[in-house]
Amino acid sequence: PRTTRARARSTRIPHSHFRTRTEDSLRPRVDMVAIEGQSLAETAAVAAPAPAGLPKEARGLLHELAAEWADVADCRALEVVPLKGAMTNEVYQVRWLTGGGEEKGEGEYRKVLMRVYGEGVEVFFDREDEVRTFECMSRHGHGPRLLGRFPTGRVEEFIHARTLSAVDLRDPEIAAIIASKLREFHHLDMPGPKRVLMWDRLRNWLKTAKSVCPSDEAKEFRLDNLEKEINALESEFSGEDQCIGFCHNDLQYGNIMIDEETKALTIIDYEYASFNPIAFDISNHFCEMAADYHSEEPHILDYTKYPDLDERKRFVQTYLSSSGEEPDAEKIKDLMNNIEKYTLASHLVWGLWGIISEHVNDIDFDYMEYARQRLAQYWLKKPEILSCRVDDE
């Protein structure tokens, strides 16, 4: 990223910046579940000593952090576990055996999460803005704590929770918890201008896509037509009586974690977060139900899994009623109609993201085929969505 790479060394965040936790929660423990959809058995199977390619600054930061933990047997004897499912960054669990076990694997582990920033992502967002959002969320008790930074990444608290799976999004109980949590997220008092960002983002990404695409790709994806489409959607939606809130903008299942014991949810990864219409954030979440990024073909989308009318209505009703007031039928219908319209914007956003990512990111994912599906869905659904209301279904 353009700003963090310029930093010459790693930075450990002082303890005074951490939110207070009880001594009980500071005791080492074995996490009941692993993040990124991996079971404990899978995690143990791929654990390995720190690779030689680990950035020098990251290694120094990890050693410095571990040296302050009295329960860590050897601060330099760290293991690194790659975690699956990330498409913007490379994500690892880093762990140290504590003094509780003599044999390797029998003791408990002290764990952190290490995030190595993906190449080329500066075309999508400003990393310094994202880190400021991360730190603000952490100070307010949302998401993991920031433990330290190095030029090409950062180290975060490892959350005692499980990343949701694609199937979890269809569970009525979990969907209701997500709806309530998302309303809470949308009402966070975050710094920065409280204006809609999505249209500027779409235009900027379209400009970038045109600059990186050869002519045959640009023609295939009809890039010359998309500025007109973006302008038309903005004009179509600007007259709506819509609620603006702080939106995650990437609420796929891999960015939601659940504590199995308390059922508390944590929303993570704020790279794309900004103020936007809340209907866009919910529509994007609904579109993500077509994806399973841990399947054998993670780029393939199945739109038969898009939530049906009853599922969408339950989600919206729970979202609105979580404020403590029961919404009337008209308010539910209006939000549902806006959500359906904003699915078109979601398809454009992630279609352009896929096109650009194909040219700037080395992560093993078929970004181009993903983009084809998102943009095909846009052209397929546009006539139906712009002429239909929920009460017409």
Contact partners, residue 209, CB within 8 Å, separation at least 6: 218, 221, 223, 352, 355, 356
Q: 212 and 77 in one domain?
A: no
Per residue in 321-368, pLDDT (tens digit) is 998 889 999 999 999 999 999 999 999 999 999 999 999 887 789 999
Residue 274, classed as helix, strand or coil, is strand
Q: 109 and 17 in one domain?
A: yes
Q: 179 and 137 in one domain?
A: no
Mean pLDDT computed over 282-287:
98
Q: What is the structure's pLDDT at 143?
A: 80
Q: Give the domain-ending residue among 160, 180, 214.
A: 160
C-alpha span between 73 and 76 (Å, rounded):
9
Residue with token string 């209907």: 279
Contact partners, residue 158, CB within 8 Å, separation at least 6: 31, 35, 93, 111, 112, 113, 144
Q: What is the structure's pLDDT at 142?
A: 81
Q: 182 and 208 in one domain?
A: yes
Q: 308 and 326 in one domain?
A: yes
Q: Give the domain-ending residue among 160, 178, 193.
A: 160
Q: 351 and 228 in one domain?
A: yes
Q: 197 and 83 in one domain?
A: no
Task: Give me the number of domains the chain comprises.
Answer: 2
Q: 305 and 261 in one domain?
A: yes
Give the highest mean pLDDT range of 101-105, 128-132, 203-207, 385-389: 203-207
Q: 185 and 146 in one domain?
A: no
Helices of type H across 160-261: 172-186, 198-212, 215-220, 223-238
Q: What is the pTM of this model?
A: 0.79
Task: Report yes or no: 265 and 235 within 8 Å, Cβ to Cβ.
Answer: no
Tokens matching residue 234:
């903005």
CA-nearest of 158, 150, 127 to 36 is: 158
Mean pLDDT computed over 76-85:
84
The mean-pLDDT minimum among 99-103, 167-171, 196-200, 304-308 falls in: 99-103
Q: 222 and 137 in one domain?
A: no
pLDDT of 132 above 90: no
pLDDT of 118 above 90: no
What range does the domain containing 147 cover?
4-160
Q: What is the structure's pLDDT at 187?
A: 94
Q: 147 and 125 in one domain?
A: yes
The mean-pLDDT minimum among 19-28, 173-182, 261-270, 379-388 falls in: 19-28
Per residue in 197-233, pLDDT (tens digit) is 999 999 999 999 999 999 999 999 999 999 999 999 9
Residue with token string 């549902």: 336
Q: What is the structure's pLDDT at 362?
A: 79
Task: Report yes or no: 345 and 233 within 8 Å, Cβ to Cβ.
Answer: yes
What distances in angstroms separate CA 193 from CA 189, 196, 244, 246, 248, one per listed residue?
A: 11, 9, 11, 10, 16
